[in-house]
Structures are given as C-alpha cells and as structure tokens.
Chain A
Amino acid sequence: MDPLFQFLLRLGDNTLVLGHRVSEWCGHSPVLEEDIALANTALDMIGQTQLWLGLAGEVEGKGRSADDLAFLRDAWDFRNVLLVELPNGDFGQTMMRQFLFDAWNVTMLGKLMKSSDQRVADIAEKASKEAAYHVERSGDTVVGLGDGTPESHARMQAALDYLWPYVGEMFASDEVDAAMVKAGIAPDPSSLRDEYDALVTRVLTEATLTKPDSKYAHKGGRTGYMHTEHLGHLLTSMQWLQRAYPGAKW
C-alpha cells in the first residue's frame, strides 16, 4: 500500500473516529455550554476528516471520496490510534481523552505545516488553528476538574490512569513513518514525544494529577493489526445508513 495513502488514513481516521465519539455527547452534556462546545469540537474534527480523507482518496487514485472511505470500510481497514475509539465514559474521561489527543494533534500539525507535500502543509495550516483552540479548552477543563472538588479530582485521576496506556501508540514508528520522513512529508512520531510530554506534564501538574509510571502502551490501531472491540460498535452506528441504503443521499 502507498505509504502516503496509509499516512493520510491515519490522520483522517483519528479525527473521524474521535469526531464521531465526541458527537455522541450532542444533547447529553452536563450543561448547555459544554454541549455546544463538544458539538463544535466534533464538527471541526469531521471537517478536518473531510480534508485528510479527501486527499487520501485523491492520492489513492481509485476514485474513492472522503465519504466512501468513512462509510464503506470495515474495522480492519481503519488506521486510527486506539485512544480515540475508546468509549466516552463520563464527561471527565471524554475531556481527558480529548486533551491527550489535542496535545498530540497540535504538535503534529505544527510540524506538518512544513511538509514537503504542499497539500499536506495546507491542510495542516488550516487544522492547526482549530487544534490550538481545542487544546486550550480541553487543557483548561482538565485543570478545572483535576484541581476541582475531591469527586472531580478522583474521576480525572481515574480517567488518566485508564487512558495513559493508550498514549504511547501516538508516538510509535514503522515503515510508513520512515517513508514519510524520507520524503520530507512528516516527522517521525517518536520525535514529537519530548514536546508532547512537556505540554502534558505542565497541564497535569497544574491539574494536581499524577501521571502514571507505567511505560506500557496498547497498540494495533494505527497499523490496523488489532482494534479494540469498541471500534466495531462505533462503526455499526456511524455507517448504518450507508450500509442499509447504499448510495443514499439527501
């Protein structure tokens, strides 16, 4: 498989799956302002998905659109990291997951703005503005809830303990990444780790939360080797209409 196609699927599937997950909150958030904020965040991520998967389809050259890639692939063809497919849990867990992803996304997009592939650089320039806004909000919320009441603090620590083993996968490298580095299209994900850790440590410290010691990392999402059982359930809901009524439009 063309490494650039694979690389773009990874970016597009991350924002697609997380965007869909976050959209599940629509109409269910703890307060109206948070409901609107989550829906808007989801919308930005779906917008970025259209750009990444649109370019993926173009690079693949088989006439597949962003919609085709989103709605007509099955779980084993998805290339998102496991972190983004995990269930929402409570509001705190959702915001912790968002922060852990946003911090990576904003770091990666900053580097992609200098990509040798102008199409990648253009999308990154657009998306990075949105990602910067997202990480500001998710970071503030992690601090507010972490350094909040004993109840909110305990929930945020539990969320961090649960999600932390999924962080490592975002920094894994394989032959696709090596090809991207060689072509000057993208950095080696492992090279982003220090910048990420600095940002995350600063926010978690302010949030009075303790970063788990464990170096263990669940993986298999970005390579497609093995997703969690949660992805299939998400796709069942997200893809239902196009599966039941192929080609339906409105």
Chain B
Amino acid sequence: MVKPEIAQIWDWLDAVPDPEIPVISLVDLGIIRDVTWEGDMLNVTVTPTYSGCPATTQINEDILAGLAANGLTNVTLKRQLSPAWTTDWLTEKGAASLEKFGIAPPAKGVPARCPNCHGTDLEKSSQFGSTPCKALWKCRSCLEPFDYFKCI
C-alpha cells in the first residue's frame, strides 16, 4: 500500500465539517491534535471540546468516514485530554467562517463585535447557548440575538 503523505491526510480531515457547526472543519476547530503513521496503521489523536459534548461520537464517526472515503480504513482514534482543548486552537480560517455564519468567534472574554452589523454595543443574554461551546448575546444596535463561541 502507498501511504499518503501526512499533509495530504490533514487536507482530507480539513474537509470533514463539524457536525453541529458545519461551516468549520474539525481541523479549524482545533480538536485534531496529531496524525501519525504507525506501520500501516494511521493514528489520529482527537481531543474533546467539552467533556459532555454530545457530538463527540458523531465526530469520531465522521473522521473515520472521511478517511475511508479516501481509501484509509486502517485507522485508530486516540482520545487525548491533556493539554485540554482551548479556543486558541481555532484557526483564523475557522474564526472568519464562524463570523460569516453569524457566530461571533472567541475573543478575550467578550465578543469583539456583532457578527451581523459589526456593532460593538453588546449585551450578554446567557452564559450558555445552543451547544456547550457557545453563549447567547444580543446586539443593542441591530437588536439581533447572536451566538458567541465561548472563550476557554
């Protein structure tokens, strides 16, 4: 078997969307920590965003399916808890995609601007939102509520 280059495999993984926020890839999300060959076995190291995130099982299945579609079936997924996932690992591409989709990307504690009108007069509605990784905010300029990707 010809083993694809690691860089090629990262590209394939970058085509696997997050199941709950499909505008960003799993690579954008920063949860894929390592990809290595061990003989003919491909090891993919994945870290959870939140310990109770219900998408974890789906994410693992999507990784395996994404690699299988490119002919890689001898794959082992490894869970890594430490270092714990941080929003610092979100890629710039991912942050831009989030904002375009209407989700304010993680910033220093509070969202930088409204993803809809770019207004900065903002108000927190709830520390939690529709998924474990988000909080709910409101823009006082355009009055639209929006999701904010929690900074952890």
Contact = CB atoms under 8 A, between A and B. Distances in A.
Given A37-B126, A40-B132, A125 B52 contact: no
B136 A47 contact: no
Contacts of A129: 84, 152
Contacts of A137: 127-128
Please report whether the interface of chain A is mostly helix, strand, loop or mixed according to DSSP: helix
Interface string B34-54: 000000000000001011111
Given A37-B127, A47-B53, A122-B82, A133 B48 contact: no
A46 B125 CA distance: 24
B142 interface: no
Contacts, number: 64
Interface string A113-140: 0000000011101110110010011000
Contact of B82 (A36, A44, A50, A126): A126
Interface in B89-145: 125-130, 132, 136
Given A33-B128, A36-B128, A51-B81, 14 more contacts: A37-B128, A40-B132, A43-B52, A43-B53, A43-B54, A48-B51, A122-B81, A125-B84, A126-B48, A126-B81, A130-B51, A133-B127, A133-B150, A136-B127
25 contacts: A33-B125, A36-B128, A37-B126, A40-B128, A40-B132, A43-B50, A43-B52, A43-B53, A44-B52, A47-B48, A47-B50, A47-B52, A47-B53, A51-B51, A122-B81, A126-B51, A126-B81, A126-B84, A126-B85, A129-B84, A129-B152, A130-B50, A130-B51, A133-B150, A136-B127
